[in-house]
């Protein structure tokens, strides 16, 4: 479900050009006010999630993609904090196992989609199959090329069965990535996060940008839109994500289920 007035929406059928989106801007916001707004939004989100759970009519799937250090883990903490953890299911997608590779690329993803009433969060996703697979040449072009269509058909199937799909590309600048990687090197408690392999991906920044632009352009649909979220500043990133979540959940057709017909008060129970 897309919100046509959001400046971060990739309008279905248009070409996404990442250079046209400023990853570093404050968009007229102030940090203190922004943080206060997030607090308020998160209270509303908590109630909306309860409604989602109580009505069991929809599920929400939040897909997170972005370059290394773009803040996927930070957004997960932010989202889980807003919600009741019992109603949230986070799934991370790593290098596929042998069993996963022996199936079609959507097999492991479909199994992880949220059931009705639940918020599912994907840390990486089926989009890796048109990103790293394309850039690192893990499959021939003829294979990854047809996946965009398969992804759209898959996401349409989800939407038609009541899963609201929101996809966030966390947009950081190359300069901010350098700083965050340097922080990982400088802080012994962050050394475990520093992977030499991430430098290969950084060296292929332009190839990843091209692959992302194709994925964002071909797969932003009215039923599963992509949003490009400015992510150099964590508080800006979190605020825009909370706003889109609130906007999306509050626009769903949900009403609190009524009391059971047989319920006539407490005293009727012996
Ligand atoms: P994080 O998500 O925190 O970076 P890892 O460092 O374990 O976690 O990275 C997961 C790795 O798995 C990434 O390098 C990603 O590109 C890779 N990966 C995920 N899905 C696929 C896929 N379908 N094919 C190949 N590699 C994948």
Looking at ligand 1, which residue's alpha carbon is closest to its atom 13? Answer: 94
Cα–Cα–Cα angle for 37, 116, 164, rounded to 5 degrees: 55
Looking at ligand 1, which residue's alpha carbon is closest to its atom 7? Answer: 94
Residue 262 Cα to ligand 1 midpoint, Å, equals 52
Phi/psi for 9 (5° steps) reads -70, 135
**260: pLDDT strictly greater than 80:** yes
pLDDT band of residue 270 (cuts 50, 70, 90) is low
Per-residue pLDDT at 137 = 97
Per-residue pLDDT at 185 = 95
In tens, the pLDDT along 25-34 reads 999 999 999 9
Global pTM value: 0.96
Closest atom of ligand 1 to 100 CA is: 23
What are 265's two structure tokens?
A: 């008060």
pLDDT band of residue 55 (cuts 50, 70, 90) is very high
Looking at ligand 1, which residue's alpha carbon is closest to its atom 8? Answer: 94
Mean pLDDT of the chain: 95
pLDDT band of residue 244 (cuts 50, 70, 90) is very high
Per-residue pLDDT at 130 = 98
Closest atom of ligand 1 to 129 CA is: 23
pLDDT band of residue 269 (cuts 50, 70, 90) is low
> In 3D, which of 214, 175, 174, 181 has the Cα closest to residue 197?
181
Among 74, 76, 128, 129, name the best residue to mutate to test ligand 1's pocket (greatest count of ligand atoms within 8 A of Cβ).
128
What is the b/e burial string over 219-238, where b = at least 16 CB atoms within 10 angstroms of the residue's CB? Answer: bbbebbbbbbbbbbbebbbb
In tens, the pLDDT along 188-210 reads 999 999 999 889 999 999 999 99
In tens, the pLDDT along 149-183 reads 999 999 999 999 999 999 999 999 999 999 999 99
Per-residue pLDDT at 96 = 98
Residue 199 Cα to ligand 1 midpoint, Å, equals 14
Per-residue pLDDT at 2 = 54
Looking at ligand 1, which residue's alpha carbon is closest to its atom 16? Answer: 132
Residue 210 Cα to ligand 1 midpoint, Å, equals 18
State the average pLDDT over residues 232-251: 97
**8: pLDDT strictly greater than 60:** yes
Q: Do 244 and 75 contact (CB within 8 A), yes or no?
A: no
In tens, the pLDDT along 77-89 reads 998 999 999 999 9
Closest atom of ligand 1 to 126 CA is: 23
Residue list, ligand 1 pocket, CB within 6 Å: 92-96, 123-124, 128-129, 132-133, 138, 195
Distances (CA, A) of 64 to 36, 56, 91, 183, 236: 24, 24, 10, 22, 16
State the average pLDDT over residues 236-265: 95
Per-residue pLDDT at 6 = 85
Looking at ligand 1, which residue's alpha carbon is closest to its atom 21? Answer: 95
Residue 56 Cα to ligand 1 midpoint, Å, equals 32
pLDDT band of residue 268 (cuts 50, 70, 90) is low
Instruction: State which fold the 18-251 domain adopts.
Output: Rossmann fold (3.40.50)
Per-residue pLDDT at 4 = 60
Looking at ligand 1, which residue's alpha carbon is closest to its atom 27? Answer: 95
What is the b/e burial string over 79-112, where b = at least 16 CB atoms within 10 angstroms of the residue's CB? Answer: beebbeeebbbbbebeebeeebeeeebbebbeeb
């Amino acid at each position: 479900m897309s919100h046509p007035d959001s400046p971060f929406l990739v309008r279905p059928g248009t070409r996404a050009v990442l250079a046209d989106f400023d990853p570093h801007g404050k968009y007229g916001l102030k940090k203190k006010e922004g943080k206060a707004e997030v607090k308020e939004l998160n209270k509303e989100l908590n109630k909306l999630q309860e409604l989602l759970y109580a009505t069991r009519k929809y599920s929400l799937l939040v897909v997170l993609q972005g370059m290394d250090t773009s803040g996927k883990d930070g957004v997960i903490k932010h989202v889980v904090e807003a919600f009741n953890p019992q109603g949230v299911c986070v799934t991370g997608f790593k290098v596929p196992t042998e069993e996963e590779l022996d199936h079609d690329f959507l097999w492991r993803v479909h199994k992880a989609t949220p059931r009705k009433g639940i918020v599912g969060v994907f840390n990486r996703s089926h989009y890796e199959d048109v990103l790293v697979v394309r850039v690192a040449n893990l499959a021939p072009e003829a294979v990854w090329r047809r996946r965009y269509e398969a992804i759209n058909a898959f996401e349409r199937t989800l939407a038609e069965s009541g899963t609201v799909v929101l996809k966030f590309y966390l947009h950081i600048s190359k300069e901010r990535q350098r700083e965050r990687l340097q922080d990982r090197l400088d802080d012994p408690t962050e050394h475990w996060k520093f992977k030499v392999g991430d430098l290969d991906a950084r060296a292929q920044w332009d190839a990843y940008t091209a692959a992302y632009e194709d994925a964002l352009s071909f797969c932003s649909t009215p039923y599963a839109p992509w949003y490009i979220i400015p992510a150099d500043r964590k508080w800006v990133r979190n605020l825009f994500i909370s706003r889109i979540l609130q906007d999306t959940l509050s626009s769903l057709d949900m009403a609190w289920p009524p009391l059971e017909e047989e319920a006539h008060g407490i005293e009727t129970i012996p």
